[in-house]
A and B are shown apart, each in its own frame.
Chain A
Amino acid sequence: MKTSKILGSAALASLLLALPAFAQDAAAPVVEEAAAIVDKGDVAWMLVSTIVVIVMTIPGLALFYGGLVRAKNILSVLTQVFLGFSMIAILWVAYGYSLAFAGPTEGGLSAFVGDFSKFFLSGVTLDSRAATFSAGFELPELVFVTFQLTFACITSTLIVGGIAERMKFGALMAFLAIWFTFSYVPMAHMVWAGPGLLYGLGAYDFAGGTVVHINSGIAALVAAIVLGPRLGYMKEPIAPHNLVWTYVGAGLLWFGWFGFNAGSNLEANALTAVALMNTVLAPAAAALAWAIGEKVTRGHSSTLGAVSGAVAGLVAITPAAGFAGVGGAIVLGAVAGLVCLWAVVNLKPMLKYDDSLDVFGIHGIGGIVGALGTAIVAAPGLGGYPLGVPEEYSIGGQFMIQLTAVGIAIVWSGVVALVAMFIVKAIFGGARVPESSESDGLDLSSHGERAYN
């Protein structure tokens, strides 16, 4: 969870920090409490985290998806991710950050969204600060803005996986812009901003199980259903054209995910190390679980299974990264690996939707497993690190809160995605490319290029 209380004035800061001074020995000289400090180690870490999360998207996610589509469509995927990232980055600093993290702390719509007070980062100066989870330590607000930018970008571009190989490029960009504005931004506000509805409920979402994964997973599912399946889906083979790209992409995703999860601690301290370690263990357990699951059900484990398992584990540990202990991370990862394996192998053909690259199966379902599982693994008795007083932690109570957050995320994202798809269909006269373009491949028909000459 992220609280973004912007302490713009030193007076306010010293007022808050003077309170503990009253607890000191009255005979001791009254020492002026220092204002909150900005630790260069924290800032350096956060800047690095920001950069590695960008690598998660470009080229991590791009290649992960790129290898999974047919050769004639790889450039379309790479370009959708690249330009999608670029567009959302600008929209974020234009109004996304403001609506997600600025605005009144109570009243009006503050439970759901902020305001435009920081439109184009107006008022955010070199001296503006963002809070961390440790009293007395702050970050330059600009660091927080840019870190959060990377989250907005990857969440939005994740959706590309659900609509791959058949959507008009312009329609996709418009869809992402609308969905970002009406689903990502409010969800980020609700979960991570002080006045947010789910923050207030006490939902645990360390790095974005709901805001990022469930949010994008549901959107991809809805978009895939509205778009309809690819030509020849379930009739002719549509196999990945280069799993080596997918493997490289998965490696870069894992690499960047350390910034995603551990950077969400906003500081460089022991809890950051917990989140980092969980980001190794959960995907490792998940990859093994998926591999074993495949071995048992179909006779052999596969490369695609191993990397898909790892991604499922990374997704599941995202909300739990700073809450789970070692055992919890391993178990959560293993469970996510098996559940997501079931989701892509059994659930998808059962429901017949063409979520081309399993964004719902891995990010949606993995996000749900992770969000709900967080309630369990955060339990101090299981080695977890809950907020508040450990003795008062209730798995059942937290589980219900998580369930509420998951439910709201699913409904909110689903409705926005549905409306956004209908809007772009209307504007673009259909969101799908013509059949001949789909057969020729989007690289040629949408971008006039061939990846492999």
Chain B
Amino acid sequence: MKLVIAIIKPSRLEEVRQALNSLDVHGMTVTEVKGYGRQKGHSEIYRGTEYAVHFLPKLKVEIAVDDALADAVSTAIRDSAQTGRIGDGKIFVLDLLAVTRIRTGETGAAAL
């Protein structure tokens, strides 16, 4: 099993969710995060003081999938989250050792 972690622009969440739905992936966890890569921050000015804000708001989307589905999920996320501009984000795929459904106690692929 794989854990797909995608850092995306907040405005792309709905597109990503719909793209994953059409792949029959029906669960994900979304966290609000801050970060930067090549996208520069911006500056904010309050009265007389200017602040360089380096960290930009992003969303982290985490999805646990079968090995077979991992590539399709990555591609779907990439296609739906992309805007073409710097700051679109990154996708990481990690090996997932174990999964348990809390309600029923199922484990492994049955729990995904």
Contact = CB atoms under 8 A, between A and B. Distances in A.
Nearest to A343: B48
Interface residues of A, number: 17
Nearest to A300: B45
Grouping DSSP codes into helix (H, G, I), strand (E, B) and loop, the B interface class, with mixed when no group exceeds half, is: strand
Contacts of A305: 47
B47 A239 contact: no
Nearest to A237: B51
Nearest to A340: B47
B53 interface: yes
A344 B45 CA distance: 12
Contacts of B49: 238, 349
A298 B49 CA distance: 12
A145 to B, nearest CB: 37
A239 B48 contact: no
B24 interface: no
Interface in B18-77: 44-49, 51-53
A383 interface: no
Contact of A308 (B44, B45, B47, B53): B47
Contact of A298 (B45, B51, B53): B45
B47 A345 contact: yes
Contacts, number: 29
B48 A345 contact: yes
A302 B47 CA distance: 9
B53 to A, nearest CB: 7
A237 B45 CA distance: 10
Chain A interface SS verdict (over half): helix
A304 B47 contact: yes
A302 B48 CA distance: 12
Contacts of B52: 237
B47 to A, nearest CB: 5
A150 B53 CA distance: 41
B47 A344 contact: yes
A240 B48 contact: no
Contacts of A237: 44, 51-53
A237 B46 CA distance: 10
Of the candidates A237, A238, A345, A346, the one having the most CB atoms from chain B within 10 angstroms of its own CB is A237
B97 to A, nearest CB: 35
A84 to B, nearest CB: 23
Contacts of A348: 48
Nearest to B51: A237
Interface string A348-359: 110000000010
A346 B46 contact: no
12 contacts: A68-B46, A237-B51, A237-B52, A238-B49, A239-B46, A240-B46, A298-B45, A304-B46, A304-B47, A308-B47, A345-B48, A348-B48
Interface of B: 44-49, 51-53
Interface of A: 68, 237-240, 298, 302, 304-305, 308, 344-346, 348-349, 358, 361
Given A239-B51, A358-B47, 13 more contacts: A237-B44, A237-B53, A239-B44, A239-B46, A298-B45, A302-B45, A302-B46, A304-B46, A308-B47, A344-B47, A346-B48, A348-B48, A361-B48
